[in-house]
């Protein structure tokens, strides 16, 4: 594969990146934001839809809400996992309270729920809070 498509999580622009450059901190050609940030990034519903449909790099989404205790407990673990998975996957968070259409569009029945997208399709799903090591293991095995 000559290049991989990555949707900028800040501006929504689709970028092409050489596979061997994924761990070299590539930046968006439009806004300059990091394409492989190494941290969990909050996204809106439109950006999630575009990235899930377009990206060649696995996209892991944490569907959460601010009032959810287990979601708040898992947040730092999800961020640690994002750092460990830098170059292999991108981890994003979507607030289902702020974006209720996302919950219904993706059939989210309980939170926290993580979904892994690859090649425009949902490849795996896992519900419940998990420690970083378990998140990393699940992402790599899915």
Catalytic residues: 68, 71
122: three-class secondary structure by DSSP: strand
22-25 CB contacts, 8 Å cutoff, 24+ apart? 22/57, 22/87, 22/88, 23/86, 23/87
If one counts every other C-beta atom within 10 angstroms of the C-beta of residue 122, the result is 14
Q: Is 1 in a helix, a strand, or coil?
A: coil
**Residue 126 bridge partners (DSSP):** 114
d(CA 134, CA 80): 11
């Amino acid at each position: 594969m000559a290049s991989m498509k990555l949707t900028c999580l800040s501006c929504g622009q689709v970028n092409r990146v050489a596979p061997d450059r994924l761990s070299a901190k590539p930046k968006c050609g439009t806004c300059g934001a990091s394409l492989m940030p190494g941290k969990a990034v909050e996204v809106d519903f439109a950006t999630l839809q575009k990235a899930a449909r377009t990206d060649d790099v696995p996209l892991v989404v944490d569907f959460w809400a601010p009032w959810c205790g287990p979601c708040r407990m898992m947040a730092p673990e999800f961020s640690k996992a994002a750092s460990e998975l830098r170059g292999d996957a991108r981890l994003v968070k979507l607030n289902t309270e702020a974006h209720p259409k996302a919950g219904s569009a993706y059939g989210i029945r309980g939170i926290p729920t993580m979904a892994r997208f690859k090649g425009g399709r949902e490849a795996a799903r896992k519900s419940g809070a998990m420690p970083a090591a378990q998140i990393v293991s699940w992402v790599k095995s899915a």
